[in-house]
Every structure is written in structure tokens, then in C-alpha cells.
Chain A
Amino acid sequence: MTAPLSLETQTYTITRADLVAYAGASGDHNPIHQDEQVALGVGLPGVIAHGMYTMALAARAVSSWFPGAEVVSFGCKFTNPVVVPAEGGVDIEVAGEATEDDGLTTVKLTVTCDGQKVLGMPKAVVRA
């Protein structure tokens, strides 16, 4: 196994309009991602991004680091909600560290919002 290689941190912004577009594109129309009242009503701190939206951004970072590489596996836990304000947006930072072993590259990710981790143990394995 190679020594861990630090990858250039990527920053992405999520807006409410992005969540509406993602609902249409993914088929996840859960109103907690669009409607403040529904979100607050089930005890959430506000409209939150789809976990899969944040995971898609993590995948985007991986493909920017390893263009064209086939992804073998990808997983994470959704440990903290990403609250998306009605105006403007919220920034997500994706950092990564890669190790290579036997033709496969394991990318351990750190995905944060306002300095707080939002994904638990996000990890992708790619055939680079």
C-alpha cells in the first residue's frame, strides 16, 4: 500500500434551487428538502439538503481527482444535516486522502459544512 496522498480540497455551494432541481432529477420529492414548515414539523432545524445531494458532491470531488476512473464502491453515513438557507447558499468542503493497493485506490473523504463533519466515514474505492 502506498503512503496516503492528500487531494486538493473541493468547495461546492448548495442552494434551495439546487434541491428543487435534484428532487426532479432523482425522484426524491421528500418535502423536508423544500418546505421549511414540514422540516421544522418533524423536528429538523430547517430545510436540509438531500443526503444524496451531499454524497453526489463527494462523488464529484472523487471524479475531479480521478477523472474517468471506474468507481468500485462508495458509501457513507449521514451524520449531521446540511441546513440550506432560503437565500444564498451553504458551502460544502470535500477533502480527501488516497492510498493505492493492488490496482485499487481507496479515497477516504472528509466532508464538512461550517467546519462540522456532515458525512460519517465517507469512502470511495476506484480503479484509477
Chain B
Amino acid sequence: MPVDQSLVGRVFPPTRPYVVTAEGIGTFVAATGGEYDGGPAPATYPIVLAFDAMNAFLEAESLDLYRIVHGEQKFGYERPVVPGDVLTATLTVSSLRQIGGNDIIGTTSEITDGSGALVCSTSATLVHRGEA
């Protein structure tokens, strides 16, 4: 079933505040074969927040995660993420197209800190694979 076109422009509720810890960053770095020695998180770390928002979006729209493939990802950073940050992501559906039985869903997620200041703006294109 195609995704409902009325989703475009919809803003989803902010994710629950997420506390960034050195341990959490260390686990993320280790998973990609690196070693974390303190300081700012690596560039793709904010995806943890974006995923949280995307998972909530998929659940709200009853979309199956296993049918989703990542098409594109962009990050624009206001500042690096550091341990002690308390972050929240707010997802907006920015575009929706249907191509060859697949839904191409454009999303943006604004990641803000405890003071409400923008830390990172991300955009993701999600490909929802239709049933064969």
C-alpha cells in the first residue's frame, strides 16, 4: 500500500531527550572499528538521534522497518556533539514520491540541545520497498 501523500509537511513529536555519554560514543566508535579517546563524537553519530525519530515515524505510519532501505543521508553541523549533551530530534516529512512500486520518503530531522539550540540538521531519503 502506498504511503499517504498527506504526510508531506507533517511534523512528528520530538523524541525523548537523549543523554550523550562518553560510553555511548565509545560503543559507536568501536562498532565501526575505531578507538574513542574522548572529545567530540564522530560525524555520523547524530544518526542515533535521527534513527530514534525515524523509528517513531515508521511505527506511527505502520511501515515495516525491514522494507526500508536508506537512499541518501546529509548532515549539516552547527557544532560537534559532545558527552553531556541532552539531545532531541524532531522529524518532518519533506517529500514523498512513488517510483516503480516503491515509496521514496524524504525526511528532515532537526537535532537540538537542552537549551533548544540547533546542533545538527539531518536529511534522510528512505526507500520503502513495495511488496513484489
Residues on A lying within 8 angstroms of B by beta carbon are 12-13, 18, 21-22, 24-32, 38, 42-44, 50-53, 55-57, 59-60, 62-63, 68, 70-78, 120, 124
The proximity string for B residues 76-114 relative to A, scoring 1 for CB distances below 8 Å and 0 otherwise, is 110110000000000000000000000000000000000
Residues of B within 8 A of A (CB): 24, 27-28, 30-34, 39-40, 42-44, 47-48, 51-52, 55, 65-77, 79-80, 125, 129, 132
What are 29 A-B pairs at a CB distance below 8 A? A13-B33, A22-B31, A25-B24, A25-B28, A25-B30, A25-B31, A26-B31, A26-B47, A26-B51, A27-B48, A27-B51, A28-B47, A30-B65, A31-B65, A42-B129, A52-B44, A52-B47, A56-B44, A60-B34, A62-B43, A70-B79, A73-B74, A74-B43, A75-B73, A76-B72, A77-B72, A78-B69, A120-B72, A124-B43
Residues of B within 8 A of A53 (CB): 32
Contact of A78 with B71 at beta-carbon distance under 8 Å, contacts A25-B27, A42-B66, A55-B44 already known: yes
Q: Which 3 A-B pairs have the closest CB atoms?
A: A75-B74, A51-B70, A21-B31
A25–B21 Cα gap in the complex (Å)? 12
Which of chain A's residues has its CB closest to B74's CB? A75
Contacts of A31 in B (CB 8 A): 65-66
Task: Let me know if B71 and A56 touch, CB within 8 A.
Answer: no
